[in-house]
Structure 1
Amino acid sequence: MNDTCQPPEPVAIAVSGIAGSGKSTLGRALAASLRLPLVDLDAVTNPLLDALDEAVLGGHWLSGPHARTIREGRYAALRAVAADAVATAGGVVLVAPFTTELDGGEEWAHLRAAVAPATLRMVHLEGDPQLLAARRAARGAPRDRHRTDTPARTPSIPVVRIDAELSTSQQSARVLAGLGIRTPLDPDAALFSRSFDAVLFDLDGTLVDSTASVIRAWRRFAAHYGVSSDPLHENHGQPARTLIARLLPAELRSEGLDRILELELADAVALPEVRGARAFYDSIPAERRAVVTSGTAPLATARLRAARFTAPGVFVTSDDVTRGKPDPEPFLLAADRLGVDPERCLVLEDATAGIQAARAAGCAVIAVTGTVEPSALPADLAIDGLDRLTVSLDAEGIRLHPVG
């Protein structure tokens, strides 16, 4: 994450979500990255409210008879502090549930007016209710016992949707790109002076933004077997059989493979594309592109379909190779099926194992950030979305051009 980035214009970022969604953690990360003041509703109002006698209030301030009036006062205080922050610092990061504001209407209008002239952008954290409930139980905050169990509603205002399953770094990368705050791109990178015969695409995290889906499935897998899901976070991009071999004894591995496939297929529904991925993918002639993934054929097919990608003519999955990434075999096989020299291939990857495999195959590599830290991606070029690239075709092959 670039900790010196600045918004292109004065901005107020409101981070919303129910208790346990991680909004305070994300808000702090965004404030630090953008060098903006942080105003958290709980920090501004809870110390005073917690000091009040419940007997005077007729119950806890979150659920007693005065809860509505207290809510109005809390958000009035938040707006007043936010207005001061914008007036003095030019922007602000706000953290609160913003339940009513997400519905639009008068409360949303009040919030927008308070942070003017900054542009107000809403970030909304969503997640598996069981995950969020488990987080609340783990933190043991007394106030959580008094919260009303309000079902999550679909926001009526434009929001940047972020999955609570993702790490803070992964969330921040998606928020910043969604706000138009992009990582600088080197227009003089050597790749822009080269030509290529084919482009080999990784799937998860490169074409399809399935990272949260993957993490969710493996979290459920780990809970079922009573094991840690840490090997997934440490080894993104490797085949499931490699990870399961680290997690389960030999007698459970076949069953484990079946279970993780079942979990991942169930979650492969309406997945988003990585920013700009479909347009870039479609700009490569079908006979000059391949998808090379560590997933199985059924899972890879389901995820491509969920993100509305056209199936490639050359499709290399874990079912086609004996040694998966970081071994070069998958990329060597894709180049062979396309009938091209691997050294004339460009690979797009989001994981360290995939980049290592591509390099070992002799390919040039572009890293798509957002899954692992950029410092762990030893590629020829790093980009925060495929909308940063366009291509042209000439007699020498495929050429890349930077955008922005």
Structure 2
Amino acid sequence: MAADGPGRLLCVGGPPGSGKTTVGALVARAAGVALVDLDSVTTPLLEAVAAADGLPVDLDSPRFAALREARYACLAAVVADCVRSGVDVVAVAPFTREAADGSWSAWGAAAGATSVTTCWLHVPADLLATRVRARGLARDLAKAGAPVPAATVAPASVDLLVDAAGAGPDDLVARVLAGWSARP
């Protein structure tokens, strides 16, 4: 929803299979705000580069891991465009490095958001592995059979730590919206 000044930012992060995209989209819809997803912003380009080189899109391979900073710069640019125009944004990305070092609030502030709320979706490693196998995305195929890392975050670096295992989408959305609304 457009505001008089810059918009607010909710960053939804978590490991692959934690439900970031689903939860982020549902929260954005319920709040009537923009959704900016790292995968939507950058995956088509990564797939084109991979196809040109005859490679699978494996974000953990050295070639694609080297593009991490550029991917997050694309996400930040789109988020910044939205918040500068007064639109509140739900940004979805793993944010694993940013959550681990506590820099994702600074990342959001640098994009110009009036406030940044960080939300981490926690799911046990065995459930993550099941979800990743079930979704069958091309970017996951290169990791077939590999264990899904259980990313952990120090609670001090997260505004909303949400246990996303076993909770229904409506419950998750309600918890995230309540936490985001409660933030200044």
Aligned to 1:171: 172
How far apart in 1 are the matches of 2:151 and 2:178? Answer: 25
Computing the radius of gyration over CA atoms, which structure comes out larger, 1 or 2? 1
How far apart in 1 are the matches of 2:102 and 2:24? Answer: 24
TM norm structure 2: 0.82
Residues 212-242 of structure 1 show CA distances to partners (whole Å, capped at 9, x for unaligned) of: xxxxxxxxxxxxxxxxxxxxxxxxxxxxxxx
Q: Does 1:93 align with 2:90?
A: yes
Does the 8 Å CA contact 2:9/2:117 hold for their aligned counterparts?
yes
Change in 2 beyond 3 A, CA 1:133/1:91: same
Q: Which runs of 5+ in 2 are unaligned?
A: none
Aligned to 1:77: 74
Deviation at 1:133, TM superposition (A): 1.4
Change in 2 beyond 3 A, CA 1:133/1:119: same
Q: Which amino acid aligns with 1:151?
A: A
How far apart in 1 are the matches of 2:20 and 2:123? Answer: 12
Q: Which amino acid aligns with 2:117?
A: R
Q: Which amino acid aligns with 2:128?
A: L
Aligned to 1:363: none
Deviation at 1:106, TM superposition (A): 5.3
Aligned to 2:151: 152
How far apart in 1 are the matches of 2:21 and 2:11? Answer: 11
1:136-215 equivalence runs, <5 A: 136-146=132-142, 149-155=148-154, 156-165=156-165, 166-180=167-181
Aligned to 1:287: none
Q: Does 1:121 align with 2:120?
A: no
Identity of matched residues, % = 37
How far apart in 2 are the matches of 1:58 and 1:162? Answer: 35
Aligned to 1:368: none
Q: Which runs of 5+ in 1 are unaligned?
A: 182-404
Does the 8 Å CA contact 1:11/1:118 hold for their aligned counterparts?
yes
Change in 2 beyond 3 A, CA 1:82/1:33: same
Does the 8 Å CA contact 1:57/1:66 hold for their aligned counterparts?
no
Does the 8 Å CA contact 2:10/2:119 hold for their aligned counterparts?
yes
Question: With CA pairs under 8 Å and 6+ residues apart, which has the higher RCO, 1 or 2?
Answer: 2
> Following TM superposition, where does structure 1 have runs of at least 4 consecutive aligned residues deviating by more than 4 angstroms?
105-108
Change in 2 beyond 3 A, CA 1:81/1:28: same
Does the 8 Å CA contact 2:11/2:118 hold for their aligned counterparts?
yes
| Aligned-partner SS, 1:180 | helix
Residues 214-271 of structure 1 show CA distances to partners (whole Å, capped at 9, x for unaligned) of: xxxxxxxxxxxxxxxxxxxxxxxxxxxxxxxxxxxxxxxxxxxxxxxxxxxxxxxxxx
Deviation at 1:63, TM superposition (A): 2.7
Residues 340-394 of structure 1 show CA distances to partners (whole Å, capped at 9, x for unaligned) of: xxxxxxxxxxxxxxxxxxxxxxxxxxxxxxxxxxxxxxxxxxxxxxxxxxxxxxx
How far apart in 1 are the matches of 2:180 and 2:131? Answer: 28
Deviation at 1:180, TM superposition (A): 3.0
How far apart in 2 are the matches of 1:17 and 1:80? Answer: 21
Deviation at 1:55, TM superposition (A): 7.2
Q: Which amino acid aligns with 1:157?
A: S
Aligned to 1:364: none
Q: Does 1:23 align with 2:20?
A: yes
Does the 8 Å CA contact 1:90/1:118 hold for their aligned counterparts?
no
How far apart in 2 are the matches of 1:103 and 1:113? Answer: 18
TM norm structure 1: 0.40
Aligned to 2:109: 112
| Aligned-partner SS, 1:53 | helix
1:197-236 equivalence runs, <5 A: none
Change in 2 beyond 3 A, CA 1:88/1:52: same
Does the 8 Å CA contact 1:61/1:70 hold for their aligned counterparts?
no
Q: Which amino acid aligns with 1:127?
A: V
1:285-324 equivalence runs, <5 A: none
Q: Which amino acid aligns with 1:97?
A: P
| Aligned-partner SS, 2:150 | coil
Deviation at 1:56, TM superposition (A): 3.6
How much is the aligned-residue C-alpha RMSD, in angstroms?
Answer: 2.7
